[in-house]
Amino acid sequence: MASTTKSQLIGRISLRAKCILLLALFTVLSLSFILGGAFLNSCQINRDDSNVHVLRTVNPTNGNDMEEENPLEFMRSKKVILISHELTLSGGPLLLMELAFLLRVVDAKVVWITNQHTDEKNKVTHSLVHKMLDRGVQVSYPRTKEALDATLKSDLIILNTAVSGKWLDNILQENGQGILPKVLWWIHEMRGHYCSLDYVKNLPSVAGTMIDSHISADFWKNRTHNRLGLTMPQTSVVHLGNSKELMEVAEDSVAKRILRQHIRGSLGIQHDDLLFSIINSVSRGKGQHYFLRAFIESLQLIKERNLKVPKMYAAVVGSDFNAQFKFEMELRDIVSENGLQDVVHFVNKSLTVVPYLAATDILIQNSQGRGECFGRITIEAMAFQVPVLGTAAGGTTEIVVDGVTGMLHPEGKNGVSVLAENIIKLATQAETRLNMGRNGYNRVKEMFLEKHMAQRIGDVLKSILQNSKTSQTSTKNFEK
């Protein structure tokens, strides 16, 4: 009995220490971000969405993880070139960096090349470079003999984002078509102006493409064919997954409770109040204005219908006056005109939104137009058993099961009233909220974990390597 009590005490101390470290890290990162002026954005080149991607590093497996064979084990000792259009805290580069760390776990030889000029004096760039170097990723520069030699000797080249097509144009001018059979193009964008011959004229010639959702893949297939007269190469859809680190926090009830109390306390929100959060970089395309109008409409309808609900709050996480001054002012005008300054909170951009996920009761994913190409914040919220109210557009429709893990509404003005009714439904039906949250968590465990993403990526890489080897053999036989 005494030993059990002692172990439980040690466990509680360990959890408390973990939470203190989490809060300290959150505070430091938030401060550094306010000073540094960068924000994570998701599917577009300025990732939205999320979140703690810089922290989504993968450590060598240990403990129970050793029981599962790494799906990327076949990449051991392979030479891989990763091409990024930039080195910033936006979604594309950070996702590629995450892949770099996954490959380093199996001791692949990874070289990172940034196509655009990078200012090494920039604090963010400097930090990211050293983060890669610390994990054994070699950082090189384009148009150097070192980079060219590494590219020619590589087993695989992963071109990240449509914009990186400029790098491919340059390298083909120097070396002809020899590298094309080992080029995999990983595309995250779903905006029309990226589907341009300026970027993707060599797309049909690469070994394959990897895209984050079926909807995005269909968009690229149709757009390149109808607008550019191009045929897409072999295309694979790879849904993303939550990191082990995020899942550890999401599944730690003590850590979640401490983070939840900390954030809600800082916003003046009580335990039983309801917090609706939209966690994206603030821009018109992310739909914060429509969310606020829907939230205001829901409050008005609740009052008119004399419904009993907990006190409701809204949080707009991802504000940046420097980037979107006019739109930021528009959002605040909407709030002030309706006298909701004490109800709607604007939260500055932050490197990690994990504490806000812990504090949130319902997530709003309100991206407009074609929607998100995937929308990683959605699966991150689901990991925290948070139901999602999302637009019926883009990758969100491949994540959220309408009526099961959340509810979908139309994008644009037509979606405002539908979203308002969905807000009311979840505000008035606590059991529905809880069930949707549990269902979302189960869906993440089934489909959207790091191991699932690694397996999907592994299948694509294996196929590209096999086809590249076959192509090289055929070329040698032809030359004989």
pLDDT at position 300, please? 98
| pLDDT, tens digit only, all 480 positions of the chain | 444 443 443 344 444 555 555 665 554 444 333 333 333 333 433 333 333 333 333 443 344 444 678 999 999 999 999 999 999 877 889 899 999 999 999 999 999 999 887 666 788 888 999 999 999 999 998 888 889 899 999 999 999 999 999 999 988 887 767 899 999 999 999 888 899 999 999 999 999 999 999 999 999 999 999 999 999 999 999 999 999 999 999 999 999 999 999 999 999 999 999 999 999 989 999 999 999 999 999 999 999 999 999 999 999 999 989 889 999 999 999 999 999 999 999 999 876 889 999 999 999 999 999 999 999 999 999 999 999 999 999 999 999 999 999 999 999 999 999 999 999 999 999 999 999 999 999 999 999 999 999 999 999 999 999 988 766 554 444 444
Confirm whether 53-237 and 250-447 share one CATH topology. Answer: yes
Q: Domain ranges for the chain, please list them.
A: 53-237, 250-447
Closest of 370, 34, 40 to residue 218, by C-alpha: 370
Contact present, 46 and 281 (Cβ < 8 Å)? yes
Q: Which CATH number among 3.55.10.10, 3.30.420.40, 3.40.50.2000, 3.20.20.140 corresponds to the domain 250-447?
A: 3.40.50.2000
Q: Which two tokens stand for residue 105?
A: 């776990």
Beta bridge partners of 275: 313
Contact present, 183 and 210 (Cβ < 8 Å)? no
Q: How many Cα atoms sit within 13 Å of 463 on the Cβ side?
A: 14
Q: Which CATH number among 1.10.472, 3.40.50, 3.90.1310, 1.10.132 corresponds to the domain 53-237?
A: 3.40.50
Please, where are the H alpha helices in 224-361? 244-250, 253-267, 288-304, 325-337, 354-359
List strand residue ranges (DSSP E) for 91-177, in order.
Answer: 109-114, 138-140, 156-160
Sheet holding 109-114, edge to edge: 138-140, 109-114, 79-84, 156-160, 183-187, 208-211, 235-237
Kindly report the pTM of this predicted structure.
Answer: 0.84
